[in-house]
A = this chain, B = another copy of it.
Amino acid sequence: MTTIGIIEDDAVIREGLRTYLNRLPDYRCVVVAGSVEHFLEAPLTDEPVKVLLLDIGLPGMSGLDGLKLLKQHLPHAKVIMSTGNDESTYIFRSFNAGANGYLFKKNLFAEVRNAIESVIDGHAYLSPIVTRKVLDFFNAPPTEQIEITARERQIVQCLVDGLSYKLIADRLDISLDTVRFHLKNLYKKLRVNSKSEVVSKALKSNLVS
């Protein structure tokens, strides 16, 4: 028996999901709430929630903020986020907070069963649109082509690691002035004029990790 929890403020969707899932064999919705707060107040059932469907746009505490809290109460539950919004920021923050899946409401009923089965199996489930976003995240930078030499890349990496000129000189076993020299060149190439800007630009452009 797969026990489901639902937190969703839209009553139509909430009850629709409950009805739909309860009709499936081996599925039971054991806790259904309109907000994170209500969910946490709900009396504990004998059956712990195995899969939690969590809306992001909720009254009171957002699903995103609630996720970490809920994870503490239900450490073994898999959590599938749902939202009508496709803003990447929500997606990545959900992953960061430990979500196991991500669905869009427009595909909710079509995909929810697959999603539940995936996360129960220990996999993750992402709506195709989300997968697209994730790939875009990696692929995204229509990066202004910046050509830097291997040596310069080393220098940049040192900066990103937070080293001072002196420490860079030590690590790369070159003189302080040489470090300065490379930095000067980097500043020209990146069209910046401070260490911090190099770090910022390098990280944003995936020049280094």
Contacts and interface: CB of A to CB of B under 8 A. Distances in A.
A124 interface: yes
B200 A161 contact: yes
Interface in A93-146: 95-100, 118, 121-126, 128-129, 131-132, 134-135, 138-139, 141, 143
A160 interface: yes
Give the copy number.
2
B134 A134 contact: yes
Nearest to A100: B135
A79 B181 CA distance: 41
Residue in A96, A97, A125 with the greatest tally of chain B CB atoms within 10 Å: A96
**Those 8 A-B pairs whose CB atoms lie nearest each other, nearest first:** A95-B138, A162-B197, A123-B128, A124-B131, A203-B203, A199-B199, A195-B196, A124-B135
A90 interface: no
- Secondary structure at the A interface, as helix, strand, loop or mixed, is helix
Interface residues of A, number: 41
Interface of A: 92, 95-100, 118, 121-126, 128-129, 131-132, 134-135, 138-139, 141, 143, 159-162, 164, 192, 194-201, 203-204, 206
A162 B192 contact: yes
A199 B125 CA distance: 33
Contacts of A122: 132
Given A123-B132, A131-B125, A162-B194, A139 B200 contact: no
Contacts of A164: 194
28 contacts: A92-B206, A95-B138, A96-B139, A96-B141, A96-B143, A98-B139, A99-B135, A118-B128, A123-B129, A124-B128, A124-B131, A124-B132, A126-B126, A126-B131, A131-B131, A159-B200, A161-B200, A162-B192, A162-B194, A162-B200, A162-B201, A195-B196, A196-B196, A196-B199, A199-B199, A200-B203, A203-B203, A203-B204
